[in-house]
Structure 1
Amino acid sequence: MVNLNDSGDLANKSVTRSEAIKQYYATILCQTFSHDGKYLIASLKSGKLALFGISRIFDSHENQPCSDKSIYQPSISIQAHKDAIYGLTGNKSLILTGGKGEIKCWKWSDLVNQNTIESQWSITLAHGDSILRPEINSLVLCGNDETDELLLAGCGNNKIYGYDLESNQPRLTLDGHTDYINCLAYSKQSNILFSGSEDGSVCLWDLRIGKTVNTIEPYKHNELNRPFGKWIGSIALDNSSEWMVCGGGPHLSSWHLRSLSRGVVFESSSCDVTSQVALIHNDYVVSGGSSSQVSTWSLNGKIFSEIPCEPFHVYSIAIHEKDQKSLMAIGGSSYKINICTNFKYNDFHLEVF
């Protein structure tokens, strides 16, 4: 016979176990906002895509405090890949996802209107010398101000592949890193691609000739060294492409791109935090990684805020300007996504299930 107290204890244990299962299976690896900021899409370690109606949530908040928990959950969730989705990017009309050896293209309108859950097209990468297809760790779109023409994929086989976005046919292969490529960033001003790798280097590629024009190796600077690796896990450019920040095994640091000289080292209250994702937004550097907080600094290295968040390891940050406010989504090792309307505290959180 179970008394009421025992029943309560069992219920609490059940809730705790349920939370633990959610935490384990719902790691959020990437996020991006729609061009108009009305939607947020997140990719999961389980291979799912989760789409949230951000504008619907804010409209509800403006009217009155919302008790309908369903609005914080995905309006649609689909099994997009069999395995984890490591790369995610998009433009006004398309969403591109990258998993293990496979890139898929989706339409925003299809997912928003729930017309279909089928991708528009897919690309399967060749095995090459390995028995396994490479992980696609980062995706970026390249082109002019009007049209994205080229999709670039940084992969676990140390290579970068370029595909024509209209025909989805191969256009180029960039080969120069000696270890996994973790992150990519693209400068429209110079048509230069930046790639960060486990080998500790950031390569600068001139896409017109398909070759590296410079290499930055932060780990060779004593003030950037960490005892647990030289890898580069994050890269970001400012709007002018005058400055870059990068971090990972080395400390997060800024670099002046015309002179290739190091700027400042960005330090948080926890010296052991490594940067898994970084962004430059307006006059701020934003970064998250191996802790349950996101840090923001001014470009001169002065700490602005440290925002506590649900994930105990942050893998993705997405930022969108909404009504002259910066809307930030934070995701990682949790089924919850923190939403902030400034760089100081959390407003509410979404749940992927």
Structure 2
Amino acid sequence: MALWSLDLCKTTSSKQHSNTVTSLVSINSTPKNAHYLCSASYDGSIGLWQFVEGCRGRRPAITIQHLLSLAHGSYPITDTPVEVLCLASHDASACVISGGNDAVIRCWSLSRKTRMQKVATLSGHTDAVTCMKVDQGQDLLFTGSDDGTVLQWDVRSIVGLQKDCHAEIQPVGLVGAHDGLVHDLAVAANGLRRLVTCGADRRVCLWEYIP
């Protein structure tokens, strides 16, 4: 991972993962003025990082400090780590959401002591979860998958969940989006309630969704 300073044209780097880093997401969390980042990797882990302000000589500088790593999950028979393919964050619950090639979505709560604990599992896809985005204004999560579908989830239900409660959350909507893999998706800003998806069928699709 590399942190870039656009003003100084310099980078600082840190290596904690043992395989390709697939996704990054910033987290709005408590305490105030603390800035966190999560990383996902093919090595099956999710890393938690904190931005640290300091000085480099006489100039102010920001670095990233690795705080912890945790496993997204493993396959029950072989115990092989599940590759983590995508991440998203939900501001209202201070949760990080991860998706991997086991078709399962997991929600992780970031506590005040900078610990991450699993609070919920979202099941509905039948193949690898490749992309996800949160509509923060509507508290909706959208996930795309190699199964060709996009699922809509009401993530208000994860607010206030306690650690290890093992809540099972079901989707509230399904879009048969593409004839093949869903590669990426985007949520329109400013409450437009529009979703854009793209897939292996070479199509870009615009959808209207209902909260």
Is the structural similarity TM-score above 0.5? yes
Contact preservation (8 Å) 1:187, 1:241: no
Q: Residue type matched to 2:95 in 1? A: L
TM-score (norm 2): 0.78
Return the offset for 1:211. Answer: 1.3
Return the offset for 1:186. Answer: 0.6
The match for 1:238 is: 188
SS of 1:258 mapped into structure 2: coil
Contact preservation (8 Å) 1:241, 1:257: no
RMSD over aligned CA atoms reads 2.2
Q: Which one of 20, 23, 27 corresponds to residue 84 of structure 1?
A: 20
Q: Which one of 38, 56, 66 corresponds to residue 96 of structure 1?
A: 38
The match for 1:151 is: 96
Alignment of 1:278-289 (within 5 A): none
Q: Quickly say closer, same or farther: Cα 1:96–1:130, change in 2 above 3 A.
A: farther
Instruction: Give me the whole-angstrom Cα distance separating, in 2, the residues matched to 1:160 and 1:126.
Output: 10
Return the offset for 1:258. Answer: 2.7
Return the offset for 1:241. Answer: 4.8
Flag the structure with higher helix content. 1
The match for 2:84 is: 136
Instruction: Give me the whole-angstrom Cα distance separating, in 2, the residues matched to 1:130 and 1:231.
Output: 26
Q: 1:165-187: per-residue Cα shift (whole Å, max 9, x none)? A: 11311100111111110000111
Q: Quickly say closer, same or farther: Cα 1:98–1:128, change in 2 above 3 A.
A: same
Structure 1: gaps spanning 5 or more residues: 1-48, 57-70, 220-224, 260-353
Contact preservation (8 Å) 1:86, 1:135: no
Return the offset for 1:130. Answer: 5.0
The match for 1:217 is: 176
Return the offset for 1:191. Answer: 1.6
Q: Residue type matched to 1:232 in 2? A: V
Q: 1:299-326: per-residue Cα shift (whole Å, max 9, x none)? A: xxxxxxxxxxxxxxxxxxxxxxxxxxxx
The match for 2:117 is: 169
TM-score (norm 1): 0.48
Q: Quickly say closer, same or farther: Cα 1:50–1:211, change in 2 above 3 A.
A: same
Q: Quickly say closer, same or farther: Cα 1:161–1:104, change in 2 above 3 A.
A: same
Instruction: Give me the whole-angstrom Cα distance separating, in 2, the residues matched to 1:183 and 1:128.
Output: 20
Q: In terms of Rg, which structure is larger?
A: 1
